[in-house]
A and B are shown apart, each in its own frame.
Chain A
Amino acid sequence: MGSCNIFELSTQLLFSQLLLGLINGAFYAMLSLGLAVIFGMLNVINFTHGAQYMMGAFAAWLMLTWLHIPFWGALVLAPIIVGLFGIVIERLMLKRIYHLDHLYGFLLTFGLAQIIEGLFQWNWGSSGAPYQSPIPGGYNLGFMFLPAYRGFVVVAALVICLTTWYAIERTRLGAYLRAATENPTLVRSFGINVPRLITLTYGLGVGLAALAGVLAAPIQQVSALMGTNLVLVVFAVVVIGGMGSIMGSIVTGFGLGLIEGVTKVCYPPGSNTVIFVVMALVLLVKPAGLFGQTK
């Protein structure tokens, strides 16, 4: 069981697991990207990220069942609504703790995640609700069957990640953002409204999480606890990649998803834990993370 001979396996199994890994990786990438953007600007590890991802999926599902807004509408509306919710939280609570140790941000957002997930669970229970795939059908590629929607998710995630990277690394607003991360006081003296920039960043990061949630709705069941375990895995992804670089988060996310997929083929019981094992190895070899700087 422990040996992994790729040539003995059916290519069908291998490729379908790799696709699954790629999809998981797409979600890891989108979520760790949001965490990195938020941490860079707010110095807060957003523990609420998993709950906000869940809120995105729920928003899409509620829009469909209550208002008959189709998937494509939800894809635009849900991140905006959840992002606005994030902005309210930032204005009301997070801004009060920036001067404190990072740990307090972690504790505060952990408490918020418990409140949100608890309320959703209380109202809708723990069992999931199905969400119809907006792109049914698929393609037979010869070596495997590719469900159309899953292919779309991988492409969409890539587009979202690269757009975020471009916005932060190549635009004027992104330059302000990076400058404010380095030295907020100096940037403020240039007449740029840094607090507003911080609020916007948080809204953007939360919106990204919600967008990932909407994309996940047709693949996973929509349930109150769908983000609980995911956010813990994403923390490991963040430790592995280091939060220093946007591109680093994207590469690490997709890469770890693929590693998970390969593990599922070679040694199925290890697929849950392989990311944590990678994390232990990275800590041994390069404690700052693959793309992180030691500070």
Chain B
Amino acid sequence: MNRILVAIVLAVAALVAPWFFYPVFLMKALCFALFACAFNLLLGYAGLMSFGHAMFFGMAAYFFGHMVKVWDWPIEFGLVGAVLGAALLGLVTGALAIRRQGIYFAMITLAFAQMIYFLCVQMPFTGGEDGLQGIPRKPLFFGLLPTENDYTLYYVVLVIFLFGFGAIYRFIHSPFGQVLKAIRDNEQRALSLGYEADRYKLLAFVLSAAVAGLAGATKAMVVHFATLTDVAASTSGEVVLMALIGGLGTITGPVVGGFVLVAMQDYLAFVGQLVLVIQGAIFVVIVLGARRGLVGEFSAWWKARRRPG
């Protein structure tokens, strides 16, 4: 009963939210929350920490912008194209990165992301330092649903978010997700049981890249532009931080983390470059003191509170 109640409250909150908060802020938060969920799928359920996830997020933003603005594709095609592009990039980099494990995996993904960043600085289609600006918000469904209005677009973004979140949820709770967890916990044993661990890891990586791409493309649609920041190492660090704030390996954690971090960046904009310092401090505090994150610590507290009674 409790669960259903929580679900209803959340659904109502999601529906009325744009009347209480600035819709663009909510849409950005939803995009980053989805991005963090994609990252968390890989770390929480496959045990692979990618420190280069901005490459999928940012490249998909560029792909989407280029398809919609320069090639004049409809938004639907742009989204699908950007997601496929991110998945393809995930296939190539993932196939190489999963050849190493643990800390090396993190360094390899970081290095590939840096390579993509350097390429984005040089390639003409990204617009270099200026970024790809003026991506139009076109109507959806062959002109039936206009999206210039922030309130309308909010619901579109909400649907996209729920689609991505649902895909991850289904994936984790499928037999495939169970095998993935088995590999995370004991790769040797999973191998000896006949599961081809590398193939499972690669598929998880590609799926994670695709969802990160969906988040990046949607963000480009919301804010009308894609810039170098989207592919930069700092963005890769931010998504790690979101998952860490919310709680690694929890399903709702990254969503909470995404909202917290985007809110923090919006409300702390006045401190300027010190935002970076604050983010770094949060990293340090969580790693040293609260490794379960907000959601993890809360549910631990909740269980401890109920047990004695």
Binding site for B on A (CB under 8 A): 45, 93, 96-97, 100-104, 106-108, 110-119, 121-122, 228-229, 232-233, 235-236, 238-239, 269, 272-273, 276-277, 279-280, 283-284, 287-288
Contact = CB atoms under 8 A, between A and B. Distances in A.
Interface string B21-58: 00000000000000000000000000001010000000
Closest 6 CB pairs of A and B: A111-B283, A114-B280, A276-B115, A118-B277, A118-B276, A115-B280
A107 B108 contact: no
A283 B99 CA distance: 7
A273 B104 CA distance: 19
A240 B13 CA distance: 50
Contacts of B121: 272
Contacts of B102: 101-103
28 contacts: A45-B107, A103-B49, A103-B102, A103-B103, A108-B283, A111-B283, A111-B284, A114-B237, A115-B280, A118-B277, A119-B277, A121-B273, A122-B272, A228-B233, A232-B111, A232-B114, A232-B233, A236-B107, A239-B111, A269-B122, A272-B118, A272-B121, A273-B118, A279-B108, A283-B96, A283-B99, A287-B99, A287-B100
B198 to A, nearest CB: 11
Contact of B240 (A107, A118, A284): A107
Residue picked from B51, B115, B237, B275, most chain A C-beta under 10 Å: B115
B122 A93 contact: no
Given A97-B288, A118-B276, A107 B111 contact: no
Contacts of A233: 111, 114
Contacts of B237: 110, 114
Residue picked from A115, A228, A273, most chain B C-beta under 10 Å: A115
A122 B288 contact: no
Contacts of A101: 102
Given A107-B283, A279-B108, A280-B96, 17 more contacts: A107-B287, A108-B283, A111-B281, A114-B279, A115-B280, A115-B281, A116-B280, A118-B273, A119-B277, A232-B114, A233-B114, A238-B107, A239-B108, A276-B112, A279-B111, A283-B100, A284-B99
Contacts of B181: none
Contacts of A104: 287, 291
A97 B276 CA distance: 23
Interface of B: 49, 51, 96-97, 99-100, 102-104, 106-108, 110-112, 114-115, 118-119, 121-122, 233, 237, 240, 244, 272-277, 279-284, 287-288, 291
Contact of B282 (A45, A96, A111, A122): A111
B273 A122 contact: yes
Contacts of B49: 103, 106
Given A118-B274, A283-B108, A273 B115 contact: yes
A228 B237 CA distance: 13
Contacts of A232: 110-111, 114, 233
A262 B8 CA distance: 63
B114 A122 contact: no
Contacts of B108: 239, 279, 283
Nearest to B272: A122
A273 B281 contact: no
Contacts of A279: 108, 111
Nearest to B113: A232
A165 B272 CA distance: 43
B114 A276 contact: yes
Contacts of A122: 272-274, 277
Contacts of A276: 111-112, 114-115, 118
A272 B122 contact: yes
Nearest to A119: B277
B119 to A, nearest CB: 6
Residue picked from B96, B102, B103, B106, most chain A C-beta under 10 Å: B103
